[in-house]
């Protein structure tokens, strides 16, 4: 869809201070030479320890509001992106974020799309900003804390990712902002649905043990029994390229017009082969070079990278960005944005 | 929000054949006289056994498409409403529904709002139908299978509910349909956020036992330590009445214009006191009388009742309906709809 009148007002992030380098992880026996070699340059993970993901989402939302002229009272819609369970079954995560912010009465949604979550939340928010709801200020939040015995943040997601903790928020406006959303397209590729399900039951809890999600073991089942990995990758490549092309056409741009391709924080080879080469762009135009320092924060990556670009002088007014993510489902989203100006907060607040 | 050009094209339902009456449940020792007395008329629960919730969502979606002139190929957006986990952690439920339907490439969302889910999914879909996405055909699905050792469907949710299994689907159109959506308003009352969380951790799994959600034990903590029940009920009543009033005003109607108030399937006293009396309407204008025969199917109730009204000759063109639901969060939604005509499928297909 082509979007007019949808802007990023501010971005907010929360990055945990505890940072473990790849060398330290190897020393601690958490990471090994095989992964270092195939991780092709991933450098670290940020650890939140016992700080719940939702508290990081709240911190990121407060960060976004501090940077904005908008007040909490102006908020007219909130989407929170849940990846792994953010509290007990039956509890409503956006309610926690809104209560902490002191925002009562606001319509909200809990959007569950894992690493594609922030763009999925953005898509839902665009509907509320441009459609019948006529909202003028919307907040999208995401956060991850992967500190669980079910999750091996170093090796559990294959060689392409180190899983990092953090929180992120996009404060959107229907009136003005530093970045304009030009277009966004998403889709579901349900031929790959079983990839993240394997042979697991679809019934509610019947006494089985809790298992980690997205492990190599679970993923391998699909590739061994249903569809080989190279066929999956081919399907995804064609599918995502179509979403990207439609988004570029709607924004009136060519791939060569893109200053940055904002990809999930993963290994350089994966970003190069799956995102940059199909667009004919060099790896240097991807967020790889600084994204590797953050690690993969699930749904947060898009906002964390946008914040980094804005606060580190890496964009200028007129620069075009492509955001591209995907997750189990299989779901993918592509969004094209244009930087309109570099706000004061981006020049003052370069620490985060 | 006032909505123009949003229609219910068809409704689809899946109601499991196995039906256990209150008398049978008492006989089996699952229900007792105390609950019978305070349940004030609830009569049954439908049981899906080992049929996964998602397969009932698929059956309901197929039912909706069979009744429609629209084809699967026309689908431009899908929202699936998840209440309790519909499969393994990390898996994407809408992908399963879309794969079974044979719908590839469609944008989708996993909306998690428990018993408020169908109206929350409808709200998200309205954004896609009326906003920049310009979708013309959207599907909202929901389903519940409460058959789990963690859930006592007879007594676990207090005296007001018997939990039933089932599936439901709304096929929406931006062009035409038998029912028009006139207005919809939702909100979050985050002051009650801790009601469905108690003292449970917000951290990811750390080795704790799985617990049931929404039990009386968990709910009681909040009422004993944070806010008394009567204060909660007062907040909810005022909050929901405001959403209902705004929706009526936007639809240009008074409460007395409503032919039916479609409420979640719960005990008659609860529906009367919390939904009907505040509007000055008699219980006979609520869906209580037939809803008690279905039991509470979580997010499905709204579509199951709409289907019942249409297929049992209980509505005529020009009749106005209010749909009103709520769930943990605390989230509530009110929607006003007007019946435009009674479609052929409603007159032919009175079994479901």
In chain B, residues with a C-beta closer than 8 Å to the C-beta of A245 are none
Q: What confidence score (pLDDT) does residue B301 get?
A: 97
Give the end of a domain, one of B176, B204, B224: B176
Q: What confidence score (pLDDT) does residue B284 get?
A: 97
Q: What confidence score (pLDDT) does residue B84 get?
A: 78
Q: Euclidean distance between the first and final Cα of chain B, in Å?
A: 32
* Joined tokens for residue B339: 């019946």
Q: Which residues pair with B333 in a beta bridge?
A: B186, B325
Nearest to B196 among A90, A109, A147 (CB): A90
Query: Which letter does DSSP use for residue A90 in this model?
Result: T
Q: What confidence score (pLDDT) does residue B208 get?
A: 82
Same domain, B342 and B209: yes
Same domain, B103 and B160: yes
Q: What confidence score (pLDDT) does residue B42 get?
A: 76
Considering only alpha carbons, which residue of chain B is nearest residue A55?
Answer: B202
Task: Give CA–CA dist A309/A315, Å, rounded.
Answer: 6
Q: What confidence score (pLDDT) does residue A264 get?
A: 96
In chain A, residues with a C-beta closer than 8 Å to the C-beta of B147 are 203-204
Domain that holds residue A196: 182-200+213-342
Same domain, B94 and B130: yes
- Ordered mean pLDDT values, 10 residues apiece, chain A (352 residues): 98 96 91 82 88 98 98 98 82 96 97 96 98 98 94 86 95 98 98 92 84 78 94 96 98 98 94 95 97 94 98 97 96 98 87 54
Rg (CA), chain A: 19
Query: Would you list the DSSP string of A65-82?
Result: HHHSS--GGG--EEEEEE
Task: Give CA–CA dist A218/B63, Å, rounded.
Answer: 33
Min Cα separation A312/chain B (Å): 32
Helix (DSSP H) and strand (DSSP E) numbers for chain A = 11, 11
Same domain, A45 and A153: yes
Compute φ and ψ for A324, nearest 5 degrees: -145, 120
* Joined tokens for residue A277: 């080469």
In chain A, residues with a C-beta closer than 8 Å to the C-beta of B55 are 202
Q: Say how many CB pairs under 8 Å bridge A and B.
A: 293
Task: Give CA–CA dist A218/A220, Å, rounded.
Answer: 6
Q: Which CATH number belongs to the domain containing residue B220 in this structure? A: 3.40.47.10
**Is residue A264 within 8 Å of residue A301, measured between CB atoms?**
yes
Min Cα separation B142/chain A (Å): 14
Same domain, A34 and A71: yes
Same domain, A219 and A146: no
Interior CA angle at B281 toward B275 and B285, to 5°?
85
Q: Do B132 and A53 touch (CB under 8 A)?
A: no
Nearest to A2 among B103, B132, B205 (CB): B132
Q: What confidence score (pLDDT) does residue B307 get?
A: 98
In a domain? residue B1: no
Same domain, B303 and B198: yes
Give the end of a domain, one of B176, B210, B231: B176
Same domain, A152 and A14: yes
Nearest to B214 among A90, A114, A147 (CB): A90
Q: Do A78 and B188 touch (CB under 8 A)?
A: yes
**Is residue B78 within 8 Å of residue B98, measured between CB atoms?**
yes
Task: Give CA–CA dist A227/B213, Å, rounded.
Answer: 37
Q: Cα torsion for A189, A191, A196, A200, to the nearest 10°?
A: 140
Same domain, A195 and A330: yes
Number of domains in chain A: 2
Q: What is the pLDDT along chain B (352 residues), one digit of tens a residue?
A: 999 999 999 999 999 999 999 889 999 999 988 888 887 777 779 999 999 999 999 999 999 999 999 999 999 999 999 877 788 888 999 999 999 999 999 999 999 999 999 999 999 999 999 999 999 999 999 999 999 988 889 988 888 888 999 999 999 999 999 999 999 999 999 999 999 999 888 988 888 887 776 677 888 899 999 999 999 999 999 999 999 999 999 999 999 999 999 999 999 999 999 999 999 999 999 999 999 999 999 999 999 999 999 999 999 999 999 999 999 999 999 999 999 999 999 998 755 5
Min Cα separation B143/chain A (Å): 12
Same domain, A173 and A191: no
In chain B, residues with a C-beta closer than 8 Å to the C-beta of A190 are 95-96, 98-99, 103-104
pLDDT in tens, B198-216: 988 898 888 888 777 667 7
In a domain? residue A58: yes
Same domain, A263 and A134: no
**Is residue A170 within 8 Å of residue A155, measured between CB atoms?**
no
In chain B, residues with a C-beta closer than 8 Å to the C-beta of A3 are 132
Give the end of a domain, one of B176, B201, B219: B176
Maximal C-alpha separation, chain B: 56
Same domain, A231 and A125: no
In a domain? residue B224: yes
């Amino acid at each position: 869809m082509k979007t007019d009148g949808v802007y990023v007002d501010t971005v907010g992030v929360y990055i945990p201070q505890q940072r473990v380098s790849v060398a330290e992880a190897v020393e601690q026996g958490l990471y090994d030479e095989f992964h270092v070699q195939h991780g092709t340059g991933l450098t670290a993970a940020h650890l939140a320890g016992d700080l719940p993901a939702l508290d990081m989402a709240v911190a990121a939302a407060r960060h976004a509001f501090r940077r904005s002229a908008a007040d909490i009272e102006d908020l007219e819609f909130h989407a929170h992106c849940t990846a792994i369970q953010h509290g007990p079954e039956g509890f409503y995560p956006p309610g926690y974020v809104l209560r902490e912010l002191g925002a009562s009465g606001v319509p909200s949604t809990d959007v569950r799309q894992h690493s594609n979550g922030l763009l999925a939340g953005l898509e839902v928010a665009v509907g509320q900003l441009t459609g019948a709801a006529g909202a003028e200020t919307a907040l999208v939040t995401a956060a991850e804390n992967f500190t669980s015995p079910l999750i091996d943040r170093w090796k559990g997601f294959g060689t392409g990712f180190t899983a990092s903790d953090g929180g992120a928020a996009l404060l959107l406006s229907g009136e003005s902002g530093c970045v304009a959303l030009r277009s966004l397209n998403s889709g579901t590729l349900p031929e790959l649905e079983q990839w993240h399900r394997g042979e697991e039951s679809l019934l509610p809890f019947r006494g089985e043990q809790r298992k980690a999600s997205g492990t190599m073991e679970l993923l391998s089942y699909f590739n061994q029994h249903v569809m080989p990995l190279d066929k999956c990758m081919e399907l995804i490549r064609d599918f995502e390229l179509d979403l990207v092309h439609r988004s570029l056409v709607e924004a009136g741009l060519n791939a060569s017009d893109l200053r940055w391709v904002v990809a999930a924080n993963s290994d350089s080879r994966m970003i190069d082969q799956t995102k940059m080469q199909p667009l004919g762009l060099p790896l240097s135009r991807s967020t790889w070079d600084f994204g590797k320092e953050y690690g993969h924060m699930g749904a947060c990556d898009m906002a964390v990278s946008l914040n980094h670009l804005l606060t580190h002088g890496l964009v200028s007014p007129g620069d075009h960005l492509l955001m591209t993510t995907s997750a189990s489902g299989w779901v993918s989203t592509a969004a094209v944005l244009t930087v309109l100006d570099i706000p004061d907060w981006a020049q003052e607040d370069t620490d985060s």
